[in-house]
Amino acid sequence: MPEYAAHVATSLTNRTIDHAGYQLDDVLDEIVDQLAPLAGVPSMLDGYLTVQVTVEADDLTAATAVATDAVVRAARAAAPGVGIDAVAVEVLNQDEFVNRISPFVRETGNLITTAEVADLLGVSRQRVLQLVRDHPAFPDPIRRERGKRAMLLYPRPAVLDFLAAWSEARKRHRPPTAARRRSGAIS
């Protein structure tokens, strides 16, 4: 069965989440969990929840329906009682998706998985997904493939650049500790 890359925008906004008494991070984490089989990556673009997924379907029409239904169900499960609908959907077959990202892939070199990014950064895979969602400098996933599971892939050079900047920023903002004071590393 063919695979399709889908981007589904919803009516759920930051304001709606706050007004309903939900925490944005909790809602997005629940959506990641709900859509794990589809490699769902939620983000808040211009204040609206949008989600990228990979679906298998017989044709473009079916892929649109599957992606839209999965995203809306996941969003409604993450924020029960809040009226959530899809407001825009873009679905591409894998060939078109690859054609659109091929220039970027050629420029960036090899790709690595979420697990490999987690190993490089010394964090969990869940933390990597949080960085994708929350950190503006973190490289966007550029391709999803399905084997037994869906995967997000990242350009290794961009991840290494992020790691260098992130490590430096963490060093600058690390508070002094008693052990570092005693060792003379700080005064």
pLDDT at 94 over 90: no
Q: How far apart are the C-alpha atoms of 17 and 40, rounded to whole Å?
A: 19
- The predicted-structure confidence for 119-167, as pLDDT tens digits, reads as follows 888 888 788 888 888 888 888 876 554 544 456 778 878 888 888 887 7
- Give the residue, 185 or 9, on which the prediction is more confident: 9
Question: Would you state the pLDDT for residue 60?
Answer: 92
pLDDT band at 172 (very low <50, low <70, confident <90, very high): low
pLDDT band at 108 (very low <50, low <70, confident <90, very high): very low
Residue 150 bridge partners (DSSP): 146
Q: How far apart are the C-alpha atoms of 168 and 30, rounded to whole Å?
A: 31
Per-residue burial over 155-177, b if 16 or more Cβ lie within 10 Å, else e, is bbebbeebeeebeeeeeeeeeee
Q: Which of 51, 147, 47, 133 is nearest to 91 (CA)?
A: 51
Place of tokens 């709900």: 34
CB 28 within 8 A of CB 42: yes
Q: How many CA atoms lie within 13 A of 73 on its CB side?
A: 10
Q: What does the domain layout of the chain look like in residue ranges?
A: 3-173
Length of the chain: 187
Q: Which of 187, 182, 153, 174 is nearest to 5 (CA)?
A: 153
Fill in the DSSP letter of residue 39: T
Question: Would you state the pLDDT for residue 44?
Answer: 80
CB 155 within 8 A of CB 139: yes
- Give the residue, 100 or 70, on which the prediction is more confident: 70
Per-residue burial over 98-127, b if 16 or more Cβ lie within 10 Å, else e, is eeeeeeeeeebeebbbbebbbebbeeeeee
- Lowest mean pLDDT of 33-37, 49-53, 101-105, 168-172, name the range: 101-105
The mean pLDDT of 77-85, rounded to a whole number, is 91
Q: How far apart are the C-alpha atoms of 157 and 89, rounded to whole Å?
A: 31
